[in-house]
Amino acid sequence: MAVTGILLALFLIAHMLGNLKVFTGETSFDHYAHWLRDIGKPLLPGVWFLWILRTVLVVAVVAHIVAATVLARRARAARPVKYAHRKKVNGSYAARTMRWGGVIILLFVIYHLLDLTTGTLNPVGNESKPYGNVVADFAPERWYVTLFYTLAILAVGFHLRHGAFSAFRSLGQQTPRGERRARTAALIFAVLLCAGYLVVPFAVLTGLVS
């Protein structure tokens, strides 16, 4: 869980930084998007690098889901008879919603790929004009798309808040002071990442980016 989670979190950082290029203007953003397909040239032909990256990400996602499923199945088997009276648990909201939150994130990722990678669900869907796709996507009259993106990003934030701390712990974080630091770092990371992702749709919504 920890290793695949860290791979995916690193991708999220890179993806967020890429998104923020939307503020540098249409030419720059489109140039960046096209450059992504050309990384590794001339060492690797065509879009090879992109496909290598995609393969690594898919393997990480699948391994992450498999590990989570094993844990969930073990948890279910470990308590065949439920408590008649069980309070809401003491732990954080983030820790409680890891499993269903993960399912929501998976559904969002599928929609997101159909929307902005293949363009199937995008109102423009022009592969050569990613800037135009983003602006059309979060147009004010498509407020429900922005709302769904916001909810999904918040789910990612909660998932990361517990996930980042949990990854440190799984990889051997062992002191009480380190635990406080790891929890704080996870919270700051989750908040920054949420802010970085949400600023793009809201900039389009408010007309800052058009």
Partner 1 sequence: MNLTLRIWRQKGPEDKGRMVTYPVDDVSPDMSFLEMLDVLNERLILAGEDPVAFDHDCREGICGMCGLMINGDAHGPQRGTTACQLHMRQFTDGETIDIEPWRASAFPVVKDLVVNRSAFDRIIAAGGYVTAPTGSAPEAHSTPVAKANADAAFESAACIGCGACVAACPNGSGMLFTAAKLTQLSLLPQGQPERYTRVIGMVDAHDEAGFGGCTNAGECTPACPKGIPLNTIGRLNRDYLAATAKGANNTPGS
Find the shortest distance in angstroms from Cβ 134 to partner 1: 36
Please identify, using beta-carbon distances, which residue of 79 and 141 lies nearer to partner 1: 79
Find the shortest distance in angstroms from Cβ 70 to partner 1: 8
Please identify, using beta-carbon distances, which residue of 21 and 181 lies nearer to partner 1: 181
Find the shortest distance in angstroms from Cβ 105 to partner 1: 16
Q: What is the DSSP letter of 87?
A: P
The C-alpha angle with vertex 105 and arms to 101 and 106, in degrees rounded to 5, equals: 120
Please identify, using beta-carbon distances, which residue of 67 and 139 lies nearer to partner 1: 67
Residue that is written with structure tokens 């040239």 in the block: 41
Find the shortest distance in angstroms from Cβ 109 to partner 1: 21
Helices (H), 39-142: 48-78, 93-96, 98-112, 130-137
Please identify, using beta-carbon distances, which residue of 29 and 189 lies nearer to partner 1: 189
Q: Phi, psi (5° rounding) for residue 157?
A: -60, -50
3-state secondary structure at position 25: coil
By the 8 A CB rule, do 186 and 161 touch? yes
List residues binding partner 1 (CB under 8 A).
Answer: 70-71, 74-75, 77-87, 89-92, 95-96, 98, 162, 165-166, 169-176, 178-179
Please identify, using beta-carbon distances, which residue of 68 and 124 lies nearer to partner 1: 68
Q: Is 207 exposed, middle or buried (0-12, 13-18, 19+ CB in 10 A)?
A: exposed
